[in-house]
Amino acid sequence: DQQVKQNSPSLSVQEGRISILNCDYTNSMFDYFLWYKKYPAEGPTFLISISSIKDKNEDGRFTVFLNKSAKHLSLHIVPSQPGDSAVYFCAASASPGTYKYIFGTGTRLKVLA
Amino acid sequence: DTGVSQNPRHKITKRGQNVTFRCDPISEHNRLYWYRQTLGQGPEFLTYFQNEAQLEKSRLLSDRFSAERPKGSFSTLEIQRTEQGDSAMYLCASSLAETGNGYTFGSGTRLTVV
């Protein structure tokens, strides 16, 4: 039972263009969402989060959008840079102070120079 | 602060052997987590500690797995009688219970059971 789904295993984008990574969830109890970035041979690194009381959160080139009715969130990276090439994981939990996150399977982003 | 440190980085073991991994969290973090990641999957929750107390174990954690966090500092994850299906990346993470900014992960220990 995959509660957090990232249906695109990979994505290629030209440098300078927008990257859009998508994530869907099934559990309506989830109310806190995070994106992690993972480079090879390293652990995942926290990127950005959003609470269900918001529909958008922005941090520099990274923006996360949340559509609660559709149980869908997306990560926008503008402009994309070659250093953004990594695997991106979406994760969800029932509260921001929770101990357990459910991760998606990840999307491998490749930014082409 | 050097972040979350995991040792060893790689471990190759024969089926049936026991292995132990160590995690040193960020010193002021009171929560410590173990996750497992297999190829093509996201990290899956195994267990977590608040200080020295182990508060939850996933059903993924069979009786062959045991984790400890003596004195609420570093943690160890032991796998007894390893099986080929145990081959995975074992990730440790830590956090402060009060913050909502997710975890800080270590670089993981890659286990290969041959």
- pLDDT surpasses 80 at B99: no
Q: How far is CA A32 from each of CA A4, A12, A55, rounded to the nearest angstrom? A: 12, 28, 11
pLDDT value for B1: 55
B38-60: pLDDT as tens digits: 988 999 999 999 999 998 888 88
**Test the B interface: residue of A5, A93, A101 with most B CBs within 10 Å:** A101
Q: What whole-number distance in Å separates Cα of residue A9 and Cα of residue B23?
A: 30
A23-56: pLDDT as tens digits: 999 999 998 999 999 999 899 999 999 999 999 9
pLDDT value for A41: 85
pLDDT value for B56: 86
DSSP A18: -
Burial of B20: CB neighbours in 10 Å, binned 0-12, 13-18, 19+ = middle
Contact yes or no for B102 and A102 at CB 8 A = no
**Test the A interface: residue of B103, B104, B107, B109 with most A CBs within 10 Å:** B103
